Amino acid sequence: MNILEKNNMPITSIEITLEKVVANSDLYNIPIYQRLYVWGDDQIKTLLEDLYKAFSENQPKYYLGGIMITKNNGKLDLIDGQQRFTTLWLISKKLGYDLLNFSHITIDKLEKARMSFAIRDFANQYFNSSNSELSLTKHEIEELKPISNAENVIENFLKELEGEVEKKDFASFIYTKVFLISTQMPKETDENKVFEAMNNRGVQLQQHEILKARLLSVVKDNREEMYQYSLLWDACSVMDEYLEKNIKIVANLSWKDLFPEKSDEEETIVQLPNKIHDRLKNKNSEIRSKKLLCILKEGIDDDDLAQIKNNDSVLEDYDSGKVRSIINFPMLLLHTLRLFQFRNKNILDSDKSVEVKGKDLIEIFRMHNHYFAKSEDVKDFIDLLWNVRKNFDRHVIKWVGNVENNEEVHFIKKLYQSKTAFQRRSPISNEGFALLQSMLYHSQQIITHYWLTPFLNKMLDEEDTENLYDYLKKLDNAMFCNERRDLRTMSYEMMSRTDLQLKGNIEFVEEVLNSSIGTGYPSYWFYKTEYILWENRMQLGFENWKDYRMTAKNSVEHISPQNPKPEELNIVYDHTDEAEIIREKKDDFGNLALLSPGMNSEYSNKIYSVKRAEFKAKKSIDSLKSDMIFQNEMWNWKLCQQHKEVIIKLFIKHIKETMS
């Protein structure tokens, strides 16, 4: 009998909101067998952006997913879903307003966190503390790092909201309109066994697998074709490996099937073919003895999936290293659907363009079901998907593991063929093409990345890397160095424009950079500054910037502190009256830099000389703008202005050169 149906006791599932949790006075506990919080920046930002998008669109309900609970000594043990639930709790704690009713509860006149951890008293102390003065061991601090980092990411996201009214309304939306499906297990359930069973049950059917079944059912009259397109879909769906490895394994191909022309050279760069059906047909003329239901609904075989995800030894003649995609498969499908609208269905009205909203994948395709009325439509779409994914692997950055410091950086790894093997290899030196993409990745919404639609469209017609690099510069300027509009429609319109029509607006850029809005500056302008400084490193005399890599930073820091201390006046400024000037001008773009949340809290109100010394003591440069500023032994309003003027001139130079 299924562990989830033990003793025939009822398993109940209900919709809950945080408001309902408060009304029920529910308390939650993280059991001993659950790991502590592990979500990273990308996962937290994705949730925040998704929540804010739903709020700004005034959606009546936002479904966050499910949690599984069981009653235990007056509390509800979270058997499943604790990572997203903990994130929701952290958002509530930081945002406040109505959400404070959820984050904390008053028991016997004492305010306590609504969530607690079994045996991890140090975590409970942290959750219930209003300050950071805790007596924690080094190991405990290390375990709590993901939680403190999550709080920093949330804080910096909330800084972007416009005023207290918007924050209050956002909090009310999360409190009343975010729904979870809460499944309560019988009281007698063995939680450890349930947890073990859930970890061993495999991944439940995902939206893209259901979508695949629906689309391929239109091709049911030709079983062999259906099987081929099923293989293409499956190969494209594993985003954290390269396509050549995926298709080789799922279609049981040899390298010779994929790359029939062997080079006499020691090494050459190769790419997958646009048209692959003949190679699939030759290899699979006798279709595997699988039932139609399996072909449609099972997706990749467990053995195939295990092989694809095994980086160590599956293919002795292939090496790609550990990589991670910058987008997931539902996002790739939606960008491809936008391209399908534009290229195959001739939809030129940008208002009709598909929204990139991965959590609504099935619903979006259902709304556009008329695109796939015929077998040919489905086949055209999957053929387009294959080419989009092939070009994506060839020209778009991926997260690549850095063995030296155990971090991930962005690279474009090309596929090399030697006489004996195939290898994906990173470039020896930094590339502007990858750095520009990294800038766009870090500065745009993780859940949409609308710049990818026109960029992927260009790749379908252009193979030369330098030409694609030039195009991306133009696209970036046209989309983000102009008055901000709806990115969904704007990016779709870009596909109808010629390269010469993609232009940045110099007057707009000057106006933005002269605005003096402090923490109100979108992070894009800082990331773009980093890219432009790197681009001009030789002219500026900073050859040591050659290997600079962009990292996640979203906290705006004032170089001259917002509240200078009296003793700073003689160190930082030429004259006391100048201190008064810069107090008013502290929000000027020249006096700002973008840092990681942790770095910002370290800098706080430290004086310039201390910040400079700490920056120069670091092993690597994490901000080119800061490095440029800290070349000055002192910092004053005149130097601040000069620094900003240099950056504005470099922006203008970049835009003019891109337009020529």
Task: For residues 318-340, give the mean pLDDT.
Answer: 95
Whether 171 and 309 map to the same domain: the answer is no
Q: What angle do CA 515, 519, 525 make, to 5 degrees?
A: 65
Whether 235 and 175 map to the same domain: the answer is no
User: Using CA atoms, how far apart are residues 207 and 361, in angstroms rounded to an integer?
Assistant: 7
- Asked whether residue 443 is assigned to any structural domain, the reply reads yes
Whether 418 and 555 map to the same domain: the answer is no
User: Using CA atoms, how far apart are residues 258 and 242, in angstroms rounded to an integer?
Assistant: 14
Residue that terminates a domain, selected from 145, 169, 200? 200
**Per-residue pLDDT for 564 more than 90?**
no
312: confidence class by pLDDT, cuts 50, 70, 90: very low
Amino acid (1-letter code) at residue 325: S
Whether 234 and 274 map to the same domain: the answer is yes
Whether 212 and 196 map to the same domain: the answer is no
- Asked whether residue 498 is assigned to any structural domain, the reply reads no
70: confidence class by pLDDT, cuts 50, 70, 90: confident
Strands (E) in 155-200, as ranges, are: 178-184
User: Using CA atoms, how far apart are residues 250 and 238, in angstroms rounded to an integer?
Assistant: 11
Q: How many domains does the chain have?
A: 3
- Asked whether residue 502 is assigned to any structural domain, the reply reads no
Q: How high is the pLDDT of residue 580? A: 53
523: confidence class by pLDDT, cuts 50, 70, 90: very high
- Asked whether residue 259 is assigned to any structural domain, the reply reads yes
Whether 362 and 474 map to the same domain: the answer is yes
Task: For residues 646-657, give the mean pLDDT.
Answer: 98
State the residue range of the domain holding 569: 507-659
Contact between 318 and 303 (Cβ < 8 Å)? no
- Asked whether residue 501 is assigned to any structural domain, the reply reads no
450: confidence class by pLDDT, cuts 50, 70, 90: very high
572: confidence class by pLDDT, cuts 50, 70, 90: very low
Whether 577 and 515 map to the same domain: the answer is yes
- Asked whether residue 553 is assigned to any structural domain, the reply reads yes
User: Using CA atoms, how far apart are residues 13 and 624, in angstroms rounded to an integer?
Assistant: 52
Whether 263 and 313 map to the same domain: the answer is yes
User: Using CA atoms, how far apart are residues 408 and 434, in angstroms rounded to an integer?
Assistant: 14
Whether 245 and 185 map to the same domain: the answer is no
Residue that terminates a domain, selected from 200, 232, 263? 200
Residue that terminates a domain, selected from 141, 173, 200? 200
pTM (predicted TM-score): 0.81
Contact between 557 and 594 (Cβ < 8 Å)? yes
- Asked whether residue 483 is assigned to any structural domain, the reply reads yes
283: confidence class by pLDDT, cuts 50, 70, 90: low
Whether 294 and 439 map to the same domain: the answer is yes
Task: For residues 204-222, give the mean pLDDT.
Answer: 81
**Per-residue pLDDT for 635 more than 60?**
yes
Whether 193 and 214 map to the same domain: the answer is no
Whether 160 and 34 map to the same domain: the answer is yes
Partners of 526 in the beta sheet?
none
- Asked whether residue 617 is assigned to any structural domain, the reply reads yes
Q: What angle do CA 414, 423, 254 make, to 5 degrees?
A: 115
